[in-house]
Chain A
Amino acid sequence: MNINPYTGIGLAIILAFVLMALLADIIAPYSPTEASGNVLEPPSIHHIMGTDNLGRDVFSRIVFGSRTILMVVFLAVAISGALGTILGLLTGYVGGAIDRVISFIMDSIYAFPSLILAIALSVALGPNPLNAAIAIALTYVPTYFRMIRGQVLSIKSEGFVEMAKALGLPTTRIIFRHIFPHLIPTLAVVFSMNSADAVLTEAALSFLGLTVQPPTPDWGFDLYKGRGFILAGAWWMLAFPGGMITLLAIGFALLSEGISQSHAVKSFE
């Protein structure tokens, strides 16, 4: 099989971060929450990414911080994907007034800035990683809903669904056995693109102090703290957390680019 270069690079980046999160205890040279050197040491062989304002090893915080962001992102994408897909399948299939009302609600939410909605939800739910995941998940439900519903509407009119109906198959069976499988490729693209968005939203919530409490390591929050030491020239407190967030998001973006390219090519042939 021929893997698209974008897909390959994207997957490699994501897998590297997943491994980092899984093997954090082995990879990290120091504790992420306790001082292991002087305050604000620039990168050196002892601390390859330097130390922060409390003398903690930035690299170790990056390694452990990958756990927070990946957990929140995967949880959020799973929840919103499941909710949005189920809602989209059902309302798209059933149609009628319910469909119109739900679509209207979803469209309105979709038009609203997702970050601001996530902020509002996090504030209301209280700042912790689980709530951040729920907040992010809820803001992205419309993304899946709209995509799935649109696809269901177009697939619904095709012959095989009519046939299944004529055979008297139960609705849920038609939906999950006959319609859902056709949506998987599109879902894959949306999942990876949405993961990139979720990475950015998680980082943003963290940056605003809405995800973790200190001293838990978290890229977005560490970046926010690093911002206070920019005048001290502690660029390493900014560059590494900021770079990791960007790299992870780019990984997901490349993956979605790759998947959608392979699909476009296939549908041409």
Chain B
Amino acid sequence: MGLARYVIVRALLIIPTILLLYTLVFIVLRVLPGNPVLAALGTKNIPEEQLQAIMRELGLDKPLYQQYIEYLVNFLRGDMGYSMVVRGRPIASDITDRFPATLELSIWAIIVSFVLGVGIGYVAGRSRSSIVKHLARLYGSITYVLFIPALGLFLQLVFGLWLKVLPTGDRLSPGIYIKPITGMYTFDALIQGDLVAFIDAVKHIILPALTLGLVLSGPFTRLTLDNMEKVMESKIVIAYRSRGIREEAITRHVFRHTLIPVVTYLGLQFALLLGGAVLTETTFNWPGLGTYLVDKIMYRDYTAIQAVIIIFAFLVGLISLITDVLYALIDPRVRYQ
């Protein structure tokens, strides 16, 4: 009851944010540059008539406000227009091809960062040694500023070239085939019970997920550690102890409290995750939205760039909604406000 209403309210509140981001992206990409078609074709010696024809084809001849509205309406219907460079290619189908790869990478990276970050913070939080706590904090601030391509290439050198145990790019080895269901190969292979393909897919995702996950894990460590310390000194712990509850159970309950700020942070972390995914994908030739975006940047394919960035805006809105809901699930006080 309370939860459903809460979710609906939050969902409605996300809409203005998404609209604002859309407007922003529209302004930056459509209003700022000169003639996008010229930029895309990279030449100025096109007959005026042909230029007009292309502009009309792409809907760029209409007044800006009309473009603004039509683009949004079409976008919501799943029509993201056509590529400027590969003419006649609908962008929506490119994106549906690429999206699962990015989603799969993100899911594994979040899992890695959560397990590493919260795990290290939890262990350090329970430890009585101040050196361990110091090291955990240092881990948190240093992993946070690792440069993803540098870390990724370093891992490729070590595990791919020197130890030769893991592949350095792509999602599957040549010759391995997985029938796409979700498009996320690790999960698809599991669903189909194909062990060989599963191991191959896992081998390919280890390094990218580790790279991205490691960089994202730092803030989790610090948050978990700080909050464990704070909550372990709180009166709730004394109260539990005064009832004879055993320490393991208390730690478990307390851990839930430390998760509140961690989950709130998850939402902010997602912005980092998307940016990091672009770099990770480029570093590992991972065929997701990030490499797609970078490819399109090379060709100045504005319609495609715009579509990807707006997709990201929607994802940000969606994720902030999901974190709100998670938050409400953990903390009952939120639901009833």
Contacts and interface: CB of A to CB of B under 8 A. Distances in A.
A214 to B, nearest CB: 14
Nearest to B144: A253
Given A113-B274, A124-B32, A196-B145, A204 B305 contact: no
A109 B283 CA distance: 26
B271 A254 contact: no
A28 interface: no
A200 interface: yes
Interface residues of B, number: 50
Contact of A208 (B16, B271, B282, B316): B282
Interface in A232-250: 233, 235, 238-239, 241-243, 245-246, 249-250
A104 interface: yes
Interface string A171-215: 000000000000000000000000011011001100111100000
A160 interface: no
A242 B149 CA distance: 8
A231 B162 CA distance: 11
Given A120-B29, A207-B282, A230-B168, A112 B150 contact: no
Given A116-B309, A246-B150, A123 B300 contact: yes
Contacts of A121: 28
A111 B154 contact: no
B71 interface: no
A196 B278 CA distance: 19
A105 B25 contact: no
A69 to B, nearest CB: 11
B309 to A, nearest CB: 5
A174 B17 CA distance: 33
B316 A249 contact: no
Contacts of B293: 116, 119
In terms of DSSP, what is the predominant structure of the interface of chain B? helix
Contacts of B312: 112-113, 116
Contacts of A116: 274-275, 278, 293, 309, 312
Question: What's the interface size class on A, roughly?
Answer: 35 or more
Contacts, number: 135
A119 B149 contact: no
* Most chain B Cβ neighbours within 10 Å, of A114, A208, A249, A257: A208
A5 to B, nearest CB: 11
* Most chain B Cβ neighbours within 10 Å, of A204, A210, A231, A257: A204
Given A208-B294, A238-B154, A111 B316 contact: yes
Contact of B271 (A114, A231, A250, A257): A114
A123 B297 CA distance: 7
A243 to B, nearest CB: 7
B294 A223 contact: no
B298 interface: yes
Contact of A250 (B142, B161, B268, B316): B142
Nearest to A252: B145
Nearest to B145: A249
A125 interface: yes
Contact of A230 (B150, B153, B268): B153
A93 interface: no
B57 to A, nearest CB: 22
Contacts of B305: 120, 123
A44 interface: no
B144 A203 contact: no
B28 A120 contact: yes
Given A108-B20, A233-B161, A250 B28 contact: no
Nearest to A200: B147
A115 interface: yes
* Most chain B Cβ neighbours within 10 Å, of A125, A196, A230: A230
Contacts of A226: 153
Q: Which 6 A-B pairs give the minimum distances between C-beta atoms?
A: A242-B150, A115-B275, A249-B145, A113-B275, A113-B274, A124-B32
24 contacts: A111-B320, A113-B272, A113-B275, A114-B271, A115-B279, A116-B293, A116-B309, A120-B28, A120-B29, A123-B300, A124-B28, A196-B145, A200-B147, A209-B298, A223-B149, A227-B149, A233-B161, A242-B153, A242-B154, A245-B147, A246-B151, A249-B145, A253-B141, A254-B141
Given A120-B29, A230-B157, A253-B144, 9 more contacts: A108-B24, A111-B17, A111-B268, A113-B274, A203-B149, A204-B279, A242-B149, A250-B142, A254-B141
